[in-house]
Amino acid sequence: MRMKLFDVYPLNDITIAKAKGAYVWDDAGQQYLDLYGGHAVISIGHTHPHYVKRLEDQLHRVGFYSNSVKIPLQVELAAKLGKVSGKEDYQLFLCNSGAEANENALKLASFYNGRKKIIAFKKAFHGRTSLAVAVTDNPNIVAPVNQTDNVLFLPFNDEVALEQAFAANDICAVIIEGIQGVGGINIASNAFLQKIRSLCDHYNAVYIADSVQCGYGRSGKFYAHDHAGVNADIYTMAKGMGNGFPVAGISIAPKIHAKYFMLGTTFGGNHLACAAALAVLEVIEQDGLIENAKNVGNYLMEELKKLPHINEVRGRGLMIGIDLPQELSMVKKNLLFKHKIFTGEAKPNVIRLLPALNITRVEADLFLTAFQQELEHLAVKA
Ligand SMILES: Cc1ncc(COP(=O)(O)O)c(C=O)c1O
């Protein structure tokens, strides 16, 4: 008997053996264009030389030591993140995954104002640990032990429902994705985020901006919530932060004060994780990747909107959802197996583009050509 894997992931029959920039290769040498970025994780391109070198150099010095000693790389990372994100007066707490970032943000909010009731939104996804899954709108992944009546799910972008919920409850925090990812690429309107800000100010509640997927420059601003021109109290981030190295964090407004032991983690902020995160920010800054995400993203959106048979194109920067009618449900599979292009998906039938932030127009055009062919081909059959 050989130990088996716990079978929780439906897999594509592909083994990736090599990756570079916007491309990956399988174990038979077949090349694929990667517009999925391993689920929005690859922010600066696969095996970026600066990233590889920084991690390699760090590994030769020290890979890990716990948060019981000074780790100057954490201080360097906080300073760099403050600068690139434009929130230099915020404080950084480092952890390991998006769920953990949200978990810590929600705990911190509750420590801050002593309250329990959280507002989350329909179609939200915030992760799979106990609080993160409790604010996720998917009963299939909420175990009985995670069920709580501390969470109110409100309709997305509904200012009246939000005002009413604040008036009727002692609200601790609001958690919202700037652009819902798993939910199908739904943009939080600027007016709605501004309303969250003003209600949180009025009631001394905490505005938590889940930037795990839509953050780190993907939307054409550092945090997608920045488009609304108001600050959140806590930003949570992961995915693109380490370009594949598991590193996550929360950026915390100055009004929230730290106390020893209120948060903690063994692995969070280790030397290797910081080196990976620093390499990512250095490349984002030096290569103007936020600007590139905006430009190539705008180009893709404009071109996609010209194509027939599509219900709707939604998104900002390089976080794009293409909402297709049910009869075109084969497009995603055909892009992968016929055209060798990885894309993401959201239910029921949305193609999600989440490529590295340095993809070029040439790569965008490769996708557009293949996508157009598939639309036409499948639309004729349907
Ligand atoms: C918006 C959002 N928040 C949180 C998470 C959870 O992140 P992780 O899978 O790293 O725990 C995800 C993952 O897809 C996400 O999209």
Report pLDDT for 300: 98
pLDDT at residue 378, as a whole number: 81
Distance CA 145, CA 17 (A): 39
Helix (H) or strand (E) holding 249: strand 248-252
Per-residue pLDDT of the chain (382 residues; tens, 9 = 90+): 999 999 999 999 999 999 999 999 999 999 999 999 999 999 999 999 999 999 999 999 999 999 999 999 999 999 999 999 999 999 999 999 999 999 999 999 999 999 999 999 999 999 999 999 999 999 999 999 999 999 999 999 999 999 999 999 999 999 999 999 999 999 999 999 999 999 999 999 999 999 999 999 999 999 999 999 999 999 999 999 999 999 999 999 999 999 999 999 999 999 999 999 999 999 999 999 999 999 999 999 999 999 999 999 999 999 999 999 999 999 999 999 999 999 999 988 999 999 999 999 999 999 999 999 999 888 777 6
In order of 152, 154, 174, 338, the CA distances from 162 in angstroms are 10, 7, 10, 46
C-alpha 48 – ligand 1 centre gap (Å) = 23
Question: CA dist 284 to 48, 91, 211, Å?
Answer: 12, 20, 16
How far away, in angstroms, is 380 Cα from ligand 1 center? 37
pTM above threshold 0.85: yes
Please give the Cα distance from 123 to 181 (Å, whole number): 9
Question: Two tokens at 220?
Answer: 């054409």
Q: Which residue is closest in CA terms to ligand 1's atom 16? A: 213
Distance, CA of 278 to CA of 264 (rounded, Å): 21
From 125, 133, 225, mutation site for ligand 1 pocket: most ligand atoms within 8 A of C-beta: 125
What are the angstrom distances between the C-alpha of 343 and each of 28, 361, 367? 20, 16, 10
- Specify the residue with its C-alpha closest to ligand 1, atom 13: 127
pLDDT at residue 122 in the model: 98
Q: Which of 102, 104, 212 to mutate for ligand 1's pocket (most ligand atoms within 8 Å of CB)? A: 212
CA of 303 to the centre of ligand 1 (A): 29
What is the model's pLDDT at position 330? 94
Adjacent-strand bridge partners of 221: none
* Residue 60 Cα to ligand 1 middle (Å): 31
pLDDT of residue 357: 98
131/316 Cα distance (integer angstroms): 28
Rounded to the nearest angstrom, the distance between the alpha carbon of 40 and the centre of ligand 1 is 10
Is cis: bond before 348, omega within 30 of 0? yes
Measured CA to CA, the distance from residue 79 to residue 72 in angstroms comes to 11
Q: Which of 126, 141, 211, 234 has most ligand 1 atoms within 8 Å of CB, for mutation?
A: 126
Query: Ligand 1: distance of its center to the CA of 140 in Å?
Result: 16
Atom 4 (ligand 1) nearest CA: 126
pLDDT value, residue 382: 67
Best of 239, 265, 345 for a ligand 1 pocket test (most atoms within 8 Å of beta carbon): 239
Helices (H), strands (E): how many in the chain?
A: 11, 17
Residues with CB under 6 A from ligand 1: 97-99, 102, 125-127, 177, 181-182, 210, 212-213, 238
The residue type of 378 is L
For residue 360, give the 3-state DSSP assignment.
coil
Chain centre to alpha carbon of residue 201: 26
Report the pLDDT value the prediction gives residue 93, as an integer from 0 to 100.
98
3-state secondary structure of 127: coil
Phi, psi of 10 (to 5 degrees): -70, 120
